[in-house]
Amino acid sequence: MSGITASSVGHAELATLKALALSGDLDGDQKVSCSALADRLDASTQTASRRLQRLEEADLVDREIVSDGQWVTVTEAGERALQREYADYRRIFERDASVELHGSITSGMGEGRHYISLPGYMRQFEDRLGYEPFLGTLNVELGEESVRERGRLSSFEPVTIDGWEDDERTYGPAYCYPAAVEAGDGSEATASDGGEAASRFEDAHVITPERTHHGDDQLEIIAPVKLRDELGLEDGSPLTIHVTEQR
């Protein structure tokens, strides 16, 4: 036993393992010369050789040394080590790709309808969202976890609806995030057979007005249709909101 384990090899060894996996398929062995490997890693031949040796000691590769090089196979443990790296990158790059929020339908103050109908906003909705919203905002009381989760929306690129003013007052900006909304808490299989109402609407937006009377626990949604009718919702109905980052 060498005392070196998969978790104790350094980044340089993992990079070497990755280079090996990239140049051959994971299932077979490949003929490797230390100088060719060194070129790919931008390191000296001695360094490449030492890294291969460490990888072997950690059981991440098997080697058979022959006169003109060596046969190298990435072991199952080696593949698992690469899978762990892959999972990390997935988390980094896919984490921000979508946010799923849960809550229940609630009635608000009856003001959403008024704001949505104002021409200074309506013109921008048509231009920037590509539709004329139903007059109102569907209000959703978020669950505790989703209140925290919605904070991640701030890292998404919104469609910005600019503030404006008329003779009497100023109106604040609002930020829109493309979202699909789904009746239910997201856990049940969707029963679409025979029911009058659809269960999911794809082309909605979460809207966060910069000036609002609501706290973080209330989410507002706009759409080209009346979602209460479209999805058969009433106060208290559970709703799942899938916000996807536009890239």
> Which of 14-22, 145-153, 170-178, 194-202 is the region at the interface with ligand FMN (rule: CB under 6 A)?
170-178
Residue 228 interacting partner from ligand CDP, Mg ion, ligand FMN, none (CB closer than 5 to 8 Å by kind): ligand CDP
- Is residue 209 within the footprint of Mg ion (CB under 5 A)? no
Taking residues 118 to 157 in sequence order and writing x for each that binds Mg ion by CB under 5 A, - otherwise, the string is: -------------------x-x------------------
Taking residues 87 to 116 in sequence order and writing x for each that binds ligand FMN by CB under 6 A, - otherwise, the string is: ---------------------xxxxx--xx
Instruction: Indicate the pairing of strand 164-165 with strand 159-161.
Output: unpaired
- Is residue 212 within the footprint of ligand FMN (CB under 6 A)? yes
What's the CA gap between 152 and 148, in Å, rounded? 8
Residue 101 interacting partner from ligand FMN, ligand CDP, Mg ion, none (CB closer than 5 to 8 Å by kind): none
Q: How far is the CB of 142 from ligand CDP (least distance, A)?
A: 14
Residues between 87 and 116 with contacts to ligand CDP, criterion CB under 6 A? 107-110, 112-113
8-state DSSP, 97:
G
Whose CA is closest to 227, among 116, 126, 100, 135?
135
Instruction: Indicate the pairing of strand 238-244 with strand 218-222.
Output: unpaired
Please report, as a single letter, which amino acid is at residue 22: L
Beta strands in the chain (DSSP E): 30-32, 61-66, 69-74, 98-106, 138-142, 159-161, 164-165, 170-171, 174-183, 200-209, 218-222, 238-244
The residue from 28, 213, 236, 247 that contacts ligand FMN (CB under 6 A) is: 213
Phi, psi of 172 (to 5 degrees): -80, 165
Helix (H, G, I), strand (E, B) or coil at 197: coil
For 12-25, give one letter per residue: b (16+ CB within 10 A) or e.
ebbebbbbbbeebe
Joined tokens for residue 27 = 């299932």
What's the CA gap between 246 and 161, in Å, rounded? 16
What's the CA gap between 140 and 137, in Å, rounded? 9
- Is residue 228 within the footprint of ligand CDP (CB under 6 A)? yes
Of the pair 13, 220, the CB lying nearest Mg ion is at 220
- Is residue 204 within the footprint of ligand FMN (CB under 6 A)? no
Residues between 96 and 115 with contacts to Mg ion, criterion CB under 5 A? 108, 112
Of the pair 42, 168, the CB lying nearest ligand FMN is at 168
Q: List residues near ligand CDP by CB under 6 A.
A: 107-110, 112-113, 134, 136-139, 222-223, 226-228
Provide the binding-site residues for Mg ion, judged by CB under 5 A: 108, 112, 137, 139
Q: Which residues bind ligand FMN (CB under 6 A)?
A: 108-112, 115-116, 121, 137, 139, 171-172, 174, 207, 209, 211-214, 220
